[in-house]
């Protein structure tokens, strides 16, 4: 049955949120500008805000896909100052500047541990930094590996942990709202991933239509 949404947030709504919320700060703005200039994919600002809110009270966070560290910074800003984040990315050309930005934003070095490796290799190798339990995991790397990341993450999650994944609506290609002219492999993988997670009894999951779609799943443990 086709459902009438009634209202879909517009640019004006997003701008209103920006104005109502505390100013973004120069570091996040600089990161956004660099990501745009260099065509580096990062989460939408609204997804960043959601990540920060969901990170509140989470002591140990693991992130798959650092890039320039934009989502990492949102997570760090939401998390209590005593918390830590382990973030994985094999591409040092993207991650090399992240630490300086985090410092500029007031995040001390001890809080963020960078793992320079392909995530599945690092999990399989038993990388020490990736030992659980984590109380939040954020997945934002290769779309056709999302299910494998979750399979590796589940034994490392604490009961009640939050699992978040970005791009799960894939600009409308997952639902078919937009034709899938490219990335068919990724579209199919994301569609299968979404279906599996939304029906996975180990989680209570939903998809928030924020940014490119954020899957939010609470781990029952």
Ligand X SMILES: C[S@@+](CC[C@H](N)C(=O)[O-])C[C@H]1O[C@@H](n2cnc3c(N)ncnc32)[C@H](O)[C@@H]1O
Nearer to ligand X, 119 or 137 (CB): 119
Q: Which of 71, 79, 114, 187 binds ligand X (CB under 6 A)?
A: 71
187: contact with ligand X by CB under 6 A: no
114: contact with ligand X by CB under 6 A: no
Residues 20, 76, 39, 120: is their CA dihedral positive or negative?
negative
46: contact with ligand X by CB under 6 A: no
154: contact with ligand X by CB under 6 A: no
Nearer to ligand X, 48 or 83 (CB): 48
142: contact with ligand X by CB under 6 A: yes
65: contact with ligand X by CB under 6 A: yes
**What number of chain residues touch ligand X (CB under 6 A)?**
18
The residue range among 5-13, 85-93, 105-113, 186-194 that interacts with ligand X, by the rule CB under 6 A, is 85-93
Nearer to ligand X, 44 or 200 (CB): 44
- A 10 A CB-CB count for 217 gives 22
Residues that bind ligand X (CB under 6 A): 41-43, 64-65, 67, 70-71, 88-91, 94, 118-119, 140-142
């Amino acid at each position: 049955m086709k459902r009438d949404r009634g209202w879909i947030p517009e640019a004006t709504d997003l701008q209103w949120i920006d104005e109502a919320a505390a100013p973004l700060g120069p570091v996040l703005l600089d990161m956004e500008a660099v990501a745009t200039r260099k065509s580096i994919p990062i989460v939408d600002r609204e997804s960043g805000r959601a990540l920060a809110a969901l990170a509140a009270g989470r002591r140990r966070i693991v992130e798959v896909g650092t890039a320039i560290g934009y989502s990492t910074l949102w997570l760090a800003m939401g998390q209590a100052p005593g918390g830590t984040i382990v973030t994985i990315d094999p591409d040092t050309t993207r991650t090399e500047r992240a630490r300086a930005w985090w410092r500029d934003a007031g995040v001390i070095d001890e809080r963020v541990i960078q793992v320079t490796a392909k995530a599945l290799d690092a999990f399989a190798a038993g990388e020490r930094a990736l030992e659980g339990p984590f109380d939040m995991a954020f997945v934002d790397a290769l779309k056709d590996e999302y299910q494998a990341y979750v399979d590796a993450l589940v034994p490392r999650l604490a009961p009640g942990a939050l699992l978040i994944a970005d791009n799960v609506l894939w600009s409308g290609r997952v639902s078919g709202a937009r034709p899938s002219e490219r990335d068919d492999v990724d579209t199919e993988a994301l569609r299968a991933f979404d279906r599996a997670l939304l029906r996975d009894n180990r989680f209570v999951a939903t998809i928030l239509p924020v940014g490119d779609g954020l899957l939010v799943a609470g781990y029952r443990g």
